[in-house]
Chain A
Amino acid sequence: MWAVVSASVIGTSHEASATICQDSCHVLRSRIAENDVLLIAVSDGAGSASHSHIGSSESVQHLLRVVNRDAPELSEIDANKVKGWFQEVLEHLVGVADRESVALGDLACTLLLAAVWPNGAAFAQVGDGAWIVDKGGQLISATWPDVGEYANVTVFVTTKGALHMDEEGNAAHLQFRRLDGPIDAIAGISDGLQSLVLDFACKCPSEPFFRKIFDHLRAADDETQMIAPLHQLLASDVINSRTDDDKTLVVGVWRDTAAALCDGTPE
């Protein structure tokens, strides 16, 4: 089964200006078409949007609610299906904006989704951040930050045209990727971490970082003991000396409990 921990920690620049952390993360263990499916959503609220902390938390909750309710055959999870889910989140945000008496743009946030089942996975994203997986010992970036032309510009779920897809199914900003075969470990990051753990020249994840993070979680007997250390890591000087933005890291590793139980002694 999956051992998963996540943390969202406020950036030093937001701490200085006494705002709150605008990142959100939500994890749900779902049962879809007779498969155990791990669902994870990550969202980063825009620094310039006044209520983006509400936008990000509403988005991650609603997205997983919708996926869990929809529970499609796993083979049916494609770009179109995901677009429909993101569209529902957008509609939900319109209602939230109404409830909070703010403009939709005040809830601006990115949105990342991962669905992992025993023999495959699907990833989707609008905006910055990324999904990184360990698949048979190989680190793969399943999605990549949609950075726009400029370093301080990205696309949000609430951005006009963010979910647009042409007739041939090519999306301008909604990334979608399916991977076949079992996933051994998964990590999701928000943009606060992306220039620290992704190499933009080779467009690849930082191997030592993700390998260590995955190994540390694998080595833990009980993942709940790893929540505080994850917070400590994200609030550490090593990280904060390189980013002043909010940052989220969610890490999951697959544990073959059945095998462990039968065998008793790990090799």
Chain B
Amino acid sequence: MDQTGFSIDGSDLATNPEHRCPSILLLDISGSMQGEPIRQLQEGVTVYRDCLLSDNLAQKRVEVAIVTFGGNVEVIQSFATAVSFTAPTLTARGNTPMGEAVVTALRLLEDRKLQYKAAGIQYYRPWVFLVTDGGPTDANSTHWSDAKEMITQGEAGKRFSFFCVGVEGADMERLNELNSARQALKLTGLEFKKMFQWLSSSQQSVSKSNPGDVVPLENPTAGPSGWATV
């Protein structure tokens, strides 16, 4: 009977690396975030990691990097899946070099894409998620104009999706200037937890999708799970 079927086992199949969904958190940890905002933000990042971990595919596919800006710009977490990153301790300090942070993050992203391509790894459109409670202190530098240019080009070429989220006190006008292609979202209160749950669940849907699928995102400004206004 064995001869009359198509019998294969798992070891006959190709072992391709998992597809990846790169995600960069671009977090404002400047002095004004001191106190409750930074505490809530930090908790939100932990929730994000836990949500990703709870999903079979997302835990293997979503790769998170964290870039902070407060006084200086720092890559405090290079790309890693949820299993291999621990939510960092965030300490509020200094001014808000937002433009420089954006440039750093987008370069990090391009490097990662090159690594994927070299290794034959397929990937989904990257996400960049900027969270701030203020405005750039480097708006008069070339960093700021470079950042705007990189985002404009990147959004137009679908090289990534760039979300700006303003916490109470954020200069929303500046954020909409930074990314004119996608309206900035205003965080309701300190709903970082809901925000990161949304991000995780959106990325879970995307990381399951097959060629030709359109993945509708849930509206972050509506319903009980809403966490923002525009």
Closest A-B pairs by Cβ, 10 of them? A46-B212, A201-B120, A48-B214, A229-B5, A151-B122, A154-B211, A208-B12, A200-B120, A152-B209, A206-B14
- In the complex, per-residue mask of A140-180: 1 if CB is within 8 Å of any chain B CB, else 0: 00000001111111101000000000000000000000000
Interface size on B (CB < 8 Å)?
A: 33
Within 8 A of A (CB), among B179-215: 206, 208-215
Cα-based distance from A139 to B122 in the complex (angstroms): 23
B9 close to chain A: CB less than 8 A = yes
Query: In this assembly, does B119 line the interface, its C-beta being within 8 Å of a C-beta of chain A?
Result: yes
Q: Is the CB of A209 within 8 A of B210?
A: no
**Nearest-CB residue, chain B, relative to A233:** B6
16 contacts between A and B (CB under 8 A): A46-B213, A147-B122, A150-B122, A152-B215, A153-B212, A195-B16, A195-B122, A198-B16, A200-B121, A201-B119, A208-B11, A209-B13, A212-B7, A230-B6, A233-B6, A244-B210
A238 to B10: give the CA distance in the assembly, Å: 6
Residues of A within 8 A of B211 (CB): 44, 46-47, 127-128, 147-148, 151-154, 191
Known A200-B120, A212-B8, A229-B4: A151·B19 in contact at CB below 8 Å: yes
- Shortest Cβ distance from residue A99 to the other chain B in the assembled complex, whole angstroms: 22
**A184 / chain B contacts, CB cutoff of 8 Å:** none
Q: Which residues of A contact B213 (CB under 8 A)?
A: 46-48, 152
- Tell me if A225 counts as interface (CB < 8 A to partner B): yes
Which listed residue (A149, A154, A225, A230) contacts B212, Cβ 8 A? A154
Contacts of A230 in B (CB 8 A): 6
Prevailing SS type, chain B contact patch: loop
Contacting residues of chain B (1-49) with chain A, CB-CB under 8 angstroms: 3-17, 19
Contact stretch, chosen from A31-39, A79-87, A213-221: A213-221
CB neighbors of A among B103-140 (8 A): 119-125
